[in-house]
Structure 1
Amino acid sequence: LLLDKYDQLNYLEKIGLPVPLFKLLTPENGKIIPHNLGYPVVLKACRYGYDGQGTFVINNAEELAQTWAKFNYPPMLLQKFVPFERELAVIAARSVTGDVAVYPIVETVQKNQVCHRVIAPANINK
């Protein structure tokens, strides 16, 4: 599930967590890309994207077609854009013995959808 963003969203939706509307774009869809997500939308590489790499905020159908074409039409995740004030992240890890460590919450600062800076700890109240 950690390797593929589309699989992640399907799983999160299946277990009842809120997720933005999404669909998988595949080469079989052809170059005309109909969807019901409105604009802007977010186009994401299903795999090998990290820290915003492979993520594009798309404002119209022409931009969507051009961006997808740049990558030669691989399967990509298309999801409804969710407006946000800032992005926070937390890492939790569990050892093989069951011990859990939760690291401080951080704020990520994006430039062109790519993580540019991480502020640790995030300036948030408890």
Structure 2
Amino acid sequence: PLCFIAEFIGQEIMVNLIRIAKVLINLKKEEQEMESKDIMVYDFISKQDSNLSYHSVKRLTDEFREFSGEIDEDVNSKWFGRALKRLNLVIDKRRVKRGVEVSLNVVKAQEKLKIFRVQD
């Protein structure tokens, strides 16, 4: 409705409205990118070594907290392990005495991160 009114008033107002809408959309995308924990997980995993070694989920969780600046208790080993599984970033998983270790799909994380970065 706002676009119809702007077009009715004049072409210059319509052009200004479209320009302002584009700026607001880009700001919203940047805000969502900063807030989205899934995108932060992709970003974090994409910066890991791409070898097939196993990584402790607890250690990865601690490093992710530092990386993202998250201090809240919502980001724990259980949440992080589920996020890795949900995002299909786990190639292999094994249980050891000290917890769970996973082999990460770094290439997939890099590809997914490119998709989110290109959408701008």
TM-score by length of structure 2 reads 0.22
From the CA coordinates, give the structure whose radius of gyration is larger.
Answer: 2
Bigger relative contact order, structure 1 or 2, given CA contacts below 8 A and separation 6+?
2
Give the structure with the higher percent strand. 1
